[in-house]
Amino acid sequence: MDGKLNRFIFCYFYNMLETNKIYNRDCLEGLKELPNNSVDMVLTSPPYNMRTRVRNGMYTTREKSEHFSKKYKYFGDDLSIEEYYQFHKEVLTELLRVSKIVCYNYQIVTGSKEAFFKLLGDFSDKIKDVIIWNKGGQPAMHDKVLNSCYEFV
pLDDT, tens digit (0-9, with 9 covering 90-100), for 108-137: 877 778 888 999 999 999 999 988 888 776
- Between CA 9 and CA 102 the distance in angstroms is 13
| CB-based contact 137:77 (threshold 8 Å) | no
pLDDT, tens digit (0-9, with 9 covering 90-100), for 30-88: 888 888 998 899 998 888 777 766 667 766 676 665 555 556 666 667 778 888 899 99
| CB-based contact 147:108 (threshold 8 Å) | no
